[in-house]
Amino acid sequence: EAQVTQNPRYLITVTGKKLTVTCSQNMNHEYMSWYRQDPGLGLRQIYYSMNVEVTDKGDVPEGYKVSRKEKRNFPLILESPSPNQTSLYFCASSLSFADTQYFGPGTRLTVL
Amino acid sequence: AQTVTQSQPEMSVQEAETVTLSCTYDTSESDYYLFWYKQPPSRQMILVIRQEAYKQQNATENRFSVNFQKAAKSFSLKISDSQLGDAAMYFCAYRSSKGGSEKLVFGKGTKLTVNP
């Protein structure tokens, strides 16, 4: 089944404790992206990747890092999480930047 | 920068009736893509319908159709024969066709309630 997977689905952590949210797709998509969703703000892009080893900032990249060492994986790294990073995070992928993006199931992150 | 506006934070409809969700966008580009995504309580983002700006014909997917008015920069979603399972947040989204503008720009969403 073609899908985008994220892990973990739920995470409660404390300020300053490094964490990684994994994202994997099995569709051989070149383009991958991370979004965060906050009430009243819709979804905002954090980072995106056009292909392996090619990443760039979206609208709200502060406090986040990404890497794209393999085509299928695009982890989101929070080196020192803060409470303002409490949010619902989505990973998405598409065949190319112009194609429809398919979303993962979301990761609910709470930073205390 | 492109912006997407959904002016209806909440809408409700009776089961089996028709409802239209509004979306307007701002862009200086002539070629782009527009989307409607559905987010049910499970939080999953599900593509409902997609429209290419260069196509004059409005996209349809079963009970879902759009009214795309390029000159007015309007992209409304019509849901016919509404069902209880249509209850969700609906997001309108814009995507440029130009390289270097790879992100989806989302509106803030419309919460749709379907009353039995």
- In one-letter notation, the amino acid at residue B39 is Q
List of long-range contacts for B68-72, beta carbons under 8 Å, 24+ apart: B68/B34, B72/B24
Distance of alpha carbon B74 from alpha carbon B26, whole angstroms: 9
Query: Mutating which of A10, A43, A57 best tests the B interface, going by the most B Cβ atoms within 10 A?
Result: A43
* Percentage of residues of chain A with pLDDT beyond 70: 100
Our CA-based measurement puts residue A92 at a distance from the nearest CA of chain B, in whole angstroms, of: 10
pLDDT band at B102 (very low <50, low <70, confident <90, very high): low
Distance, CA of B48 to CA of A58 (rounded, Å): 24
B52 pLDDT exceeds 70? yes
B77-81, B89-93, B100-104: which has the minimum mean pLDDT? Answer: B100-104
Q: How many CB pairs under 8 A join A and B?
A: 51
B25 touches chain A (CB under 8 A): no
CA–CA min distance B96, chain A (Å): 8
A73 DSSP assignment? B
Taking CA–CA distances from A36, the nearest residue in chain B reads B106
Q: Is the pLDDT of residue B99 over 70?
A: no
pLDDT tops 90 at residue A40: no
Does position B100 have pLDDT exceeding 70, yes or no? no
Would the CB atoms of B108 and A100 count as touching at under 8 Å? no
Rounded to 5°, the CA angle B8-B14-B15 comes to 120
CB atoms inside a 10 Å sphere around CB A63 = 14
Q: Helix (H, G, I), strand (E, B), or coil: what is residue A100?
A: coil
